[in-house]
Amino acid sequence: MYSFREIARLQEALRQEKTAGRRIGFVPTMGALHEGHLSLIRTAKAATDTVVCSIFVNPTQFNDPKDFEKYPITIKEDILKLTGVDTDILFLPSVAEMYPEGVNGQHPHYDFGYLETVLEGAYRPDHFQGVGIIVEKLLRAVQPDDLFMGQKDYQQCMIIKRLLEITQIPSELHICPTLREMDGLAMSSRNMRLDPPARQIATHISRSLNYVKENINSLPFPEIKQNANKQLQEAGYQVDYVEIADANDLRLLREPIKGKMVALAAAKLGEVRLIDNILIDQP
Ligand code: AMP
């Protein structure tokens, strides 16, 4: 695996790959890698010829400075894991490399419309602007044919779809399934911050989403959401939201629709905020 810290060096290497007619796959991450990340790399390896993984903890997407400070960094282990799945190129830039204009400098403002006003957008002001800023910079650096992201961050995938439209960047977005621990907890870098008692309780977030799915046709939505919320609170979570939305546009729903819905939840265990979602397909 080749590693680059500078965009110019990365692009030099990628030019050779592209000249040789190789298809470039890209998996952007913030590191503290787990099997969920590695599953994206494996999917990218199967679909493309040269796979680039980036590790960059992006300061502009953290609305909570404490969350940024405590974000786990495990570069040595990450490199071993990436080598283990035959990643071709690791891009490991510094903050100065990605933000020559300064983190607080002038950045584009994207019109994500409604998407930015609900769920994570409502609870994490400016988070998706920060995501847009860094993903555009990374895409312009790597210029991948294919971009691989996780359904775990469902709303983020929709934002990136919109970003590709806004910027007219011709990469194809592939949304990959969420990998889970044995007890159902969605894998996440933030899980490392859970102490053993919190880790035991953490499973309730996926349980509550399964409860929503199981009752989607039998109970009114306000009651389902209230019950799921209560289950999480009783388990020890501080709940931001449990919602049911149209999977196409994240419009919040009051009753079932035909086609795909998505149940989404965000809740905190102590200082650790977890999110999860589950697709509900109605034939
Ligand atoms: P992050 O490092 O948290 O920014 O995540 C990098 C990429 O990995 C994003 O596209 C995430 O959606 C994806 N990802 C995170 N957790 C999982 C998971 N449990 N399963 C599949 N993909 C994931």
pLDDT of res. 275:
98
The verdict on the CB of residue 61 being under 6 Å from ligand 1 is: no
Distance, CA of 157 to CA of 264 (rounded, Å): 14
Ligand 1 centre distance from Cα of residue 180 (Å)? 11
pLDDT of res. 29:
98
Distance, CA of 137 to CA of 100 (rounded, Å): 11
The verdict on the CB of residue 146 being under 6 Å from ligand 1 is: no
- Closest residue by Cα to residue 50 from 26, 33, 31, 30: 26
pLDDT of res. 161:
98
pLDDT of res. 254:
97
The verdict on the CB of residue 29 being under 6 Å from ligand 1 is: yes
Ligand 1 centre distance from Cα of residue 108 (Å)? 24
Amino acid letter, 71 = Y
Ligand 1 centre distance from Cα of residue 61 (Å)? 15
Helices 204-214 and 221-235: crossing angle in degrees, nearest 10, is 160
Ligand 1 centre distance from Cα of residue 71 (Å)? 14
Catalytic residue among 34, 37, 107, 127: 37
List residues bridging with 3 in a β-sheet. Answer: 90
- Closest residue by Cα to residue 275 from 205, 210, 193: 205
Give the closest residue (by CA) to ligand 1 atom 11: 150
pLDDT of res. 283:
72
**Do the beta carbons of residue 278 and residue 228 sit within 8 Å?**
no
Ligand 1 centre distance from Cα of residue 36 (Å)? 6
pLDDT in tens, the chain (283 residues): 999 999 999 999 999 999 999 999 999 999 999 999 999 999 999 999 999 999 999 999 998 999 999 999 999 999 999 999 999 999 999 999 999 999 999 999 999 999 999 999 999 999 999 999 999 999 999 999 999 999 999 999 999 999 999 999 999 999 999 999 999 999 999 999 999 999 999 999 999 999 999 999 999 999 999 999 999 999 999 999 999 999 999 999 999 999 999 999 999 999 999 999 999 998 7
Distance, CA of 138 to CA of 237 (rounded, Å): 35
Distance, CA of 13 to CA of 31 (rounded, Å): 22
The verdict on the CB of residue 189 being under 6 Å from ligand 1 is: yes
The verdict on the CB of residue 152 being under 6 Å from ligand 1 is: yes
88-110 tens-digit pLDDT? 999 999 999 999 999 999 999 99
Give the closest residue (by CA) to ligand 1 atom 5: 29
pLDDT of res. 282:
80
Strands 272-282 and 259-269: antiparallel
Residue the block writes with tokens 């990136």: 160
Concerning whether 204 is annotated as a catalytic residue, the answer is no
The verdict on the CB of residue 41 being under 6 Å from ligand 1 is: no
The verdict on the CB of residue 153 being under 6 Å from ligand 1 is: yes
The gap from C-alpha 9 to its chain's centroid, in whole angstroms, comes to 27
